Chain A
């Protein structure tokens, strides 16, 4: 029996478009733009000034105190400006702009080999922090914080998230096949840090090649196993994944490490390996270009900070003008009105479609079919929640455990009446968060 979670939806996967396309590096020539906020937490603090010369791998912004992540230059050149720039999220974010000299000259330390056995846990955390490693699956949670549980000895599971449950995305699939050594190296570091943990590769069964290869390579390792999972969205959601692998339950007020689990995405694990063993900070990432508008859909390794328009041009451009552009997967990604934004650490894909599947559909009346409740991985009742939100009753939304919603999109996807459920919950959760913050501030006064 393949493991899974309760709820969820079966999606058209669309992975056949790019799953066999080997990763191709792209070296852009245009300006690189680095928003200081590419992660959850406080924005990074610039340590360069306009006019400074920088090299690939040079830290240009330091992590702020607490939850934050640093940023490294991914091209060599001159700092052109530090100014607000438009990002994928649609916000103007303070960014460092570098005029690319097209030389890609690295700092001298890059590539220096290091043996993690000689490093203490806090040294490894420091390296992760200085290297700007964050969760590359999409959330951008700073990795050093994730690696800092209350007690290193009380971690039972290191789960490497290879579910890649969003349709069209294949970057983790390719990484598992092409950079297997680095991936295993990353897991070795994690097993070294957490001596009582078992390492588990959690992979959906739509990637049999990856399951086979990793099973073969880890057969003799007593502390590592591969856990094939049923292909179902959102299998790669942290809570769904922990439950499928361990049977342990995490909700919004319990962090994974409190139930003895640490989950890292495939790309993040590889980034950790590169940072620790090869002294290479996070400078490049693999991004899947897919959808019917591309000439050459595929998996491309690009320097973080590259303008998305340049990524598209270097990859062969569009064969038809797209109507819908999505950064990330179709279920949780952000739709874009322009490509004139930089690739970020968390940009796992750029999808371009000539049709908009959702925009033109009309909403009809709810027939209370209950499919939303069956699909919800958090076991909420979206049908009741949306009624509360629509009459403006945010308190009722909260009482219905609305804050447990993970915005996975399953309810909106499955709704036969095309009601924008997830969309209204994203709004309502912001309202609740605002309200809580106001109440907290009120208490202080």
Chain B
């Protein structure tokens, strides 16, 4: 009978939650934002999403097959990358550009650095920035709605001192990228992830808070006094801040693991976002800020291991 018994070190039970379960939850949480994008920008948006998702998963599959590595498409992280990348593209993007971006995200950013868990920046964001640099025109011509007429994004208008429709910004009926526009859809997804305990509030809230504080500081520093509530809300709802804060800044792989590290990282992201937005010349403050923050994570984690339970407070 003894040969039938499995011997192992404790613990002898484990949770049934696997990596793919977490990724599936993230994908589900991304659905409302995508659905809104399709409703707002039309079927063309769905095509872009599908192309990105299929290309990402296929790239991962083919690379791993060719390299004789275990195929990890089943962990669904390539699916999430595909969704996130497409959400960061305008619906009018030529499909071949979407394909190039998808291949770049999975092949260059993820697989060449060792696959899941090893990429040092968020693959979707890195691909977006790569596309921005390479195809600036196509990447920044934002359709305002289903008719394909392009327009300025509300954030660009607010930064230029114009009045914007805050309700439309909250709902998402304005010019922008497919999955970025609707704050309410993104928050719906975020709520789902919070309920499922896939994410916690720390990075998103600190990041958003830090962005707003820095916006105020810059305004004061420029001698413009306190910004108006309207302008303040436009900064909160506009651009990629919501999608970035809830779905990309807190990406497991590219954010710090410790609570202290997460604080530093999120504060830094917020400050960079506001600086890039208000003092920089490009529109993609959130993307560059998160990318920059990702690169600093190894450094942030070097700051030190947190003190364990009791070591500081106990009377020795």
Show the binding face of A for B, using Cβ within 8 Å.
6-7, 9, 11-12, 167, 239, 243, 248-251, 253-254, 258-259, 321-326, 330-338, 356-359, 361, 364-370, 373, 377-381, 383-384, 399-401, 404, 407, 409, 412-418, 420, 422-423, 426
Residues in A whose Cβ lies below 8 Å from that of B6: 323-324, 335, 356, 359
Q: Which residue of A lies closest to B74 (CB)?
A: A364
Contact mask for chain B residues 266-292; partner A; CB cutoff 8 A; 1 contact, 0 none: 000000000000000000000000000
On whether the beta carbons of A323 and B5 are closer than 8 Å, the reply is: yes
Beyond A6-B309, A379-B307, A422-B9, 20 additional contacts (C-beta under 8 Å) are A249-B310, A249-B314, A254-B316, A323-B4, A323-B6, A324-B12, A335-B5, A337-B5, A356-B8, A357-B13, A358-B8, A358-B14, A364-B72, A367-B253, A369-B252, A370-B252, A400-B305, A415-B14, A416-B18, A426-B9
On whether the beta carbons of A11 and B13 are closer than 8 Å, the reply is: yes
The answer, among A167, A250, A409, for a CB contact under 8 Å with B10, is: A409
Instruction: Report if B161 contacts A (CB, 8 A).
Output: no
Q: Which of B15, B118, B313 is the most central at the interface, judged by chain A CB atoms within 10 Å of its CB? A: B15
CA distance A338 to B118 in the complex (A): 41
Instruction: Report if B258 contacts A (CB, 8 A).
Output: yes
A-B CB contact pairs (8 Å), 19 listed: A7-B309, A249-B309, A251-B314, A254-B315, A259-B315, A323-B5, A324-B6, A356-B12, A357-B14, A364-B75, A365-B116, A365-B117, A370-B252, A381-B257, A381-B258, A401-B305, A415-B14, A416-B18, A423-B8
Residues in A whose Cβ lies below 8 Å from that of B15: 9, 413-416
Instruction: Report if B22 contacts A (CB, 8 A).
Output: yes
Shortest distance between the CB of B119 and any CB in chain A (Å): 10
CA distance A404 to B312 in the complex (A): 13
Q: Which residue of B lies closest to A423 (CB)?
A: B9
Contact mask for chain B residues 242-267; partner A; CB cutoff 8 A; 1 contact, 0 none: 00000000001101011000000000
Shortest distance between the CB of A408 and any CB in chain B (Å): 8
The answer, among A7, A251, A331, for a CB contact under 8 Å with B12, is: A331
Interface of A is mostly: loop
Instruction: Report if B115 contacts A (CB, 8 A).
Output: yes
Residues in B whose Cβ lies below 8 Å from that of A418: 14, 18
Residues in B whose Cβ lies below 8 Å from that of A325: 5
Q: Size band of the B side of the interface?
A: 35 or more
Given contacts A239-B309, A364-B72, contact A330 B12 (CB under 8 A): yes
Given contacts A323-B5, A356-B6, contact A365 B118 (CB under 8 A): yes
CA distance A361 to B16 in the complex (A): 10
The answer, among A253, A254, A416, A422, for a CB contact under 8 Å with B11, is: A422
Instruction: Report if B311 contacts A (CB, 8 A).
Output: yes
Residues in B whose Cβ lies below 8 Å from that of A324: 5-6, 12
On whether the beta carbons of B315 and A413 are closer than 8 Å, the reply is: no
Given contacts A259-B314, A418-B18, contact A333 B10 (CB under 8 A): yes
On whether the beta carbons of A251 and B311 are closer than 8 Å, the reply is: yes
Q: Which residue of A lies closest to B198 (CB)?
A: A369
CA distance A412 to B305 in the complex (A): 20
Given contacts A413-B11, A422-B11, contact A367 B252 (CB under 8 A): yes
CA distance A356 to B11 in the complex (A): 12
Residues in A whose Cβ lies below 8 Å from that of B223: none
Q: Which residues 291-314 of B have a CB within 8 angstroms of A?
A: 301, 305-311, 313-314
On whether the beta carbons of B13 and A367 are closer than 8 Å, the reply is: no
On whether the beta carbons of B5 and A322 are closer than 8 Å, the reply is: yes
Residues in B whose Cβ lies below 8 Å from that of A254: 310, 314-316
CA distance A412 to B268 in the complex (A): 32
Q: Which residues 1-29 of B have a CB within 8 angstroms of A?
A: 1-2, 4-15, 17-19, 21-22
On whether the beta carbons of A239 and B310 are closer than 8 Å, the reply is: yes
On whether the beta carbons of A367 and B306 are closer than 8 Å, the reply is: no
On whether the beta carbons of A409 and B253 are closer than 8 Å, the reply is: no
On whether the beta carbons of B14 and A413 are closer than 8 Å, the reply is: yes
On whether the beta carbons of B14 and A381 are closer than 8 Å, the reply is: no
Residues in B whose Cβ lies below 8 Å from that of A12: 13
On whether the beta carbons of B309 and A368 are closer than 8 Å, the reply is: no
Q: Which residue of B lies closest to A417 (CB)?
A: B19
Task: Identify the 9 closest CB pairs spanning chains A and B, nearest first.
Answer: A409-B11, A249-B310, A251-B310, A365-B117, A356-B6, A359-B6, A423-B9, A404-B308, A369-B252
Q: Which residue of B lies closest to A424 (CB)?
A: B9
The answer, among A332, A401, A422, for a CB contact under 8 Å with B311, is: A401
The answer, among A336, A383, A404, for a CB contact under 8 Å with B257, is: A383
Q: Which of B12, B117, B257 is the most central at the interface, judged by chain A CB atoms within 10 Å of its CB? A: B12
On whether the beta carbons of B252 and A379 are closer than 8 Å, the reply is: no
Residues in B whose Cβ lies below 8 Å from that of A368: 117, 252-253, 255, 257
CA distance A50 to B242 in the complex (A): 79
